[in-house]
């Protein structure tokens, strides 16, 4: 079974915000809500690094653990989704999430907080796949169209990769081996060290 | 008096044991699987709707297409 994962390559991200725009356009996301955003470290300094951040669809998701109304669920592909008809907009998930993924529209009076909205890995919600009800609540369901998340497929430098976790890890490993650095990063061996054969490895180059 | 206090203490001590569990059935709706294709004209060609293996293969191919090293010839 494919396990869906995102990864952002900080060596490639150019902070163009194409992923943010693609996400907002694809799902018709209201003003003030950003399911995805680009975070830049040491902005303006030489060697600044950017990464695109959204819901990481955690294996042991803290948002699921703290939700008092149990509105979250995980699909067979490991995508963390929620039922907006159950959500009460309490915001607990927002405090629990280390990535700031849960978003709350606040267009009502007195700064009223609406129901939680977050990245769905373009997998919609519990409504029938591709239905109008699903689109209005969660946006497009690209996975059920045989596609990957719009942010990853639109990324011009392919810094943001999304899809089957094994293949994504293989692609990332291929890059690191090709550019000759990155494998010294802590945790690299655990996350990407073991090839699964999902991606093509470049041929061995002399002098590398 | 002592006995009464002891009995009252015992009753309080075991009161929690009779508490009913508060976890009930979730009211969440059941989601359909991703390979149950969307009913719209935007479904990508190349896979069979309703076939899990076909959908997984489609997703793997689509994920692998993000690897540009497979699209260019290796550097000399």
- Determine, yes or no, domain membership for A121: yes
**Per-residue tokens: A42:** 């040491």
A44 in any annotated domain: yes
* Cα A44 from Cα A15, distance rounded (Å): 12
Residues shown for chain A = 208
Average pLDDT over residues A138-165: 96
Q: Could you read off the pLDDT of B4-18 as tens digits, one per residue? A: 888 888 887 777 677
Supply the pLDDT for residue A145. Answer: 96
Nearest to B33 among A76, A125, A178 (CB): A76
In the numeric block, the tokens 């293996």 are attached to B53
Task: Print the domain residue range for A91.
Answer: 4-154
Tell me how many domains chain A contains. Answer: 1
Task: Residue A142: give its domain's CATH number.
Answer: 3.30.70.20
Domain contains A174: no
Could you say which of B26, B58, B66 has the minimum Cβ distance to residue A152?
A: B66
What CA–CA distances, in Å, run from A42 to A31, A45, A118, A197? 27, 6, 27, 36
First-residue to last-residue Cα distance in chain B: 96
Q: Do B37 and A171 touch (CB under 8 A)?
A: no
Q: Which of A53-57, A73-77, A184-188 has the lowest mean pLDDT?
A: A184-188
Distance (Å, whole) CA B63 – CA A13: 18
Q: Does A136 reside within a domain?
A: yes
Give tens-digit pLDDT for A127-142. 999 999 999 999 999 9
Neighbours of A94 (CB within 10 A): 18
Chain A nearest-CA distance from B21, in A, is 15
- Give the tokens for residue A155: 């990324």
Asked if the model's pLDDT at residue B69 lies above 70, the reply is yes
ipTM: 0.86
């Amino acid at each position: 079974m494919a396990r869906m994962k995102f990864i952002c390559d900080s060596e490639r991200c150019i902070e163009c915000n194409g992923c943010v725009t693609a996400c907002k356009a694809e799902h018709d996301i209201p003003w003030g809500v950003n399911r995805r955003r680009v975070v830049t470290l040491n902005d303006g300094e030489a060697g600044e690094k950017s990464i695109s951040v959204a819901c990481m669809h955690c294996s042991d998701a803290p948002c699921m653990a703290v939700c008092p109304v149990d509105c979250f669920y995980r699909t067979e592909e490991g995508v963390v989704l929620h039922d907006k008809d159950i959500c009460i907009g309490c915001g607990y998930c927002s405090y629990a999430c280390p990535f700031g993924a849960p978003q709350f529209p606040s267009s009502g009076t007195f700064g009223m907080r609406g129901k939680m909205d977050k990245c769905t890995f373009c997998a919609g919600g519990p409504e029938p796949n591709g239905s109008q009800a699903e689109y209005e609540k969660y946006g497009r369901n690209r996975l059920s169209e045989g596609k990957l998340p719009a942010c990853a497929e639109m990324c011009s430098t392919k810094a943001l990769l999304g899809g089957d976790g094994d293949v994504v890890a293989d692609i990332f490993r291929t890059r690191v081996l090709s550019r000759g650095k990155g494998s010294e990063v802590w945790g690299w061996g655990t996350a990407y060290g073991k090839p699964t054969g999902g991606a093509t490895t470049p041929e061995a180059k002399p002098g590398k | 008096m002592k006995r009464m206090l002891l009995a009252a203490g015992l009753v309080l001590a075991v009161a929690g044991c009779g508490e009913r569990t508060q976890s009930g059935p979730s009211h969440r709706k059941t989601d359909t699987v991703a390979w149950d294709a969307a009913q719209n004209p935007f479904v990508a060609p190349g896979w069979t709707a309703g076939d899990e293996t076909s959908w997984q293969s489609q997703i793997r191919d689509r994920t692998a297409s993000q690897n540009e090293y497979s699209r260019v010839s290796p550097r000399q």
